[in-house]
A and B are shown apart, each in its own frame.
Chain A
Amino acid sequence: MNTKVNIAGVEWKNPITTASGTFGSGMEYSEFVDLSKLGAVTTKGVAAIPWAGNPTPRIAETSSGMLNAIGLQNPGVDVFLDRDLPFLKQFDTNIIVNVVGKTTEDYCKVVECLADSDVDMLEINISCPNVKEGGIAFGQSCTSVEAITKEIKKYAKQPIIMKLSPNVTDITEMARAAEAGGADALSLINTITGMKIDVHKRAFVLANKTGGLSGPAVKPVAVRMVYQVANAVNIPIIGMGGIMTGEDALEFLMAGATAVAVGTANFINPMATMDILKGIEDYMMKYRMEDIHELIGCVK
């Protein structure tokens, strides 16, 4: 049975990665999951300098989902290179670094710092709803998506995955803009901006007032967007949003994603990535499929 996929020239042993921000740099989850069994590990967003993130409460539970406003707390690219990258190199998996910044120059600085490192791919987070300067703004207009993609491509030595925001009127326009800017792949969706109010305290639950919705509650939106984008561009897609089981992952593959990322599910089940992979393999066995490519985009 073949579960190998190829994303922008990088071969993955299977189509499973972790969704940025839900898996740290893999260290904590390595107690539960053999990281070498993942197609790739995608890290928490990394910035040029350390970011302290938002005040707490940073998360809230919602029906079949959660809101987060972590605010991209991260130790900065230097600590990433000194500590996290050597850790990840011990495993036989691809390393995808999620890159964040407040300005185009910030993004380019991180990309430049990582250019000669042992990182396999870069995922550019132009879609985090939890930082005020930049962040989301880049992901919400076609001109800025194309411009920042082009700029980053000048510095990047690894394939570039542009991570798209669902908080737009037409996600296919953003996808085409990223492709026009030279993106090698796309990932979607990031979280959907939401809000929760504590009626007893008559106050916002999150210190940041708004947060990003993730988990099973967003899955139908995510599948729809992956399907639309798959029909709009010719670059591979990493699909995500509420994947909890193998069947959930199959929906994304059938909608046109070449690979999938598992996020919120890790919090409920630290072995979720492995259970999802097994779910896909069991499905292929049941339907006597030789190659995972028979599934990718099979629903037209």
Chain B
Amino acid sequence: MTATFKKSVTITSVDKLSIDIYSMWIQDKEIVSAAKPGQFLSLYCKSGDRLLPRPISICEIDKKNHALRLVYRIAGKGTEEISHYTVSDRIEVMGPLGNGFTLEGKKAILVGGGIGIPPMLELAKQLSCEKTVVLGYRDVTFLDSEFIPYGQVYISTEDGSVGTKGNVIDAIKENKLEADIIFACGPTPMLRGVKAYANEHGIKAQLSMEERMACGIGACLACVCKSKDTDHHSNVKNKRICKDGPVFYADEIEI
């Protein structure tokens, strides 16, 4: 079993990447040495009004400096509170949580949609095979330039202001990208599209899923998704995204 830690950690850097998009590095030896791409941390607010953890994906891992990067969008009151934290502030976190991506394949496409893009960065760094990166945005891009060292980067925007006009699947088709595996994180409609595309082309896909969470460790059954087969733990067709996921093979789950 992998180790999970619940503790207060120090914020070592804070940046604003775009409107409502923030980047933050935290430092902690134990959490960082256990962390893998595709895993996430639960962040806890200081306000006692907001009890539940905010799950945020690991964007980058710097083992040498025991540091870990989180990139998040202000989506509500909790992330708004966190966006006001500054360097040397402390934040309560739990992690690393979840299974993370399985590093595999000969030729991969990494697909990130919107706020599903951050976890693809550490994956791009650690995945040694040949790879291309496809990033989907509504309009304004972020983090895209940071993927350049790891592979060819293709962009889609809904308004067509950058790259392909449309979604990530449109960009894959337009650029005739080929692969034997797709890794994807993003909104459910995008994941559904990736699953359908992978199915059509007979290739594997690892999808990172999202759901509201309370415990973050598999105990409360808040965060389930539908699975194709009866799950060994639940004995019904439900898998826990926080514990059995967030990354699943596309053919394991119903979306």
Contact = CB atoms under 8 A, between A and B. Distances in A.
B222 A68 contact: yes
Contact of A73 (B51, B225, B238): B238
A65 B221 CA distance: 17
B221 A270 contact: no
Nearest to A25: B219
Contacts of A24: 218-221
Contacts of A22: 215, 219-220
B29 interface: no
Interface residues of A, number: 39
A75 interface: yes
Interface stretch (A56-64, A157-165, A292-300): A56-64
Among A53, A56, A264, the one with the most B-chain Cβ atoms within 10 Å of its Cβ is A56
A175 B52 CA distance: 32
Contact of B51 (A31, A53, A58, A268): A268
B44 interface: yes
Given A28-B215, A270-B6, A271-B6, A66 B52 contact: yes
A36 interface: no
Contacts of A57: 211-212
A256 interface: no
Interface string A32-63: 10000000000010000011110011111101
A79 interface: yes
Nearest to A215: B51
B52 A58 contact: no
B202 interface: no
Interface of B: prevailing SS: loop
Interface in A227-278: 264, 266-271
A155 interface: no
Nearest to B243: A28
B161 interface: no
A70 interface: yes
A73 B234 contact: yes
Interface string A65-100: 110101001011001000000000000000000000
B224 A28 contact: no
Interface in B32-50: 44, 48-50
A44 B234 CA distance: 12
Interface of B: 1, 4, 6, 44, 48-53, 94, 211-225, 233-238, 243
The 8 closest A-B pairs by CB, nearest first: A75-B235, A24-B219, A28-B219, A52-B236, A59-B222, A50-B235, A267-B214, A28-B217
